[in-house]
Amino acid sequence: MKIAVMQPYIFPYIGYFQLIKAVDKFIFYDDVNYIKGGWINRNNILINKNKSLFTIPLDKASPFITINETNINLKIFREWRLKFLKTMEQSYKKAPYYSQTYSIIVKNKNL
């Protein structure tokens, strides 16, 4: 039996999905300390062909708590989400599979 263990990421890279497909059991390793500046709540998107970092706002994120204990900062998340979704739409609306992908993102209330 092949097993893979990875920390959760927002919008993982293609190799993450290839790893999931290649194993019999995949485990999200989320009971370890949160890494500030890591990729758990951050990633890059392309805006006008330039890499742009986005960060989902967290409430009291700290390396002294585990990943599964971190929470989204709900005070600023709604406004952040609207801005993020608009940026995604403006940047990717002409991309292949945009409609299918965007609908999945919009349905996720945590993003």
Q: What is the mean pLDDT of residues 32-47?
A: 94
Confidence (pLDDT) at 22: 98
DSSP 35-66: -TTSSSSEEEEEETTEEEEEE--EES--TTSB
Residue matched to tokens 């999200």: 28
pTM of the predicted structure, to 2 decimals: 0.85
In this prediction, residues 12-18 reach a mean pLDDT of: 95
Confidence of residue 109 (pLDDT cuts 50, 70, 90): confident
Mean pLDDT (the chain) is: 94
| 11/85 Cα distance (integer angstroms) | 14
Place of tokens 């204990």: 69
C-alpha distances out from residue 23 to 9, 19, 30, Å: 18, 7, 19
Condensed to tens digits (0 to 9), the pLDDT of residues 45-90 reads 999 999 999 999 999 999 999 999 999 999 999 999 999 999 999 9
CA dihedral (5, 11, 16, 17) in degrees, to 10, reads: 110
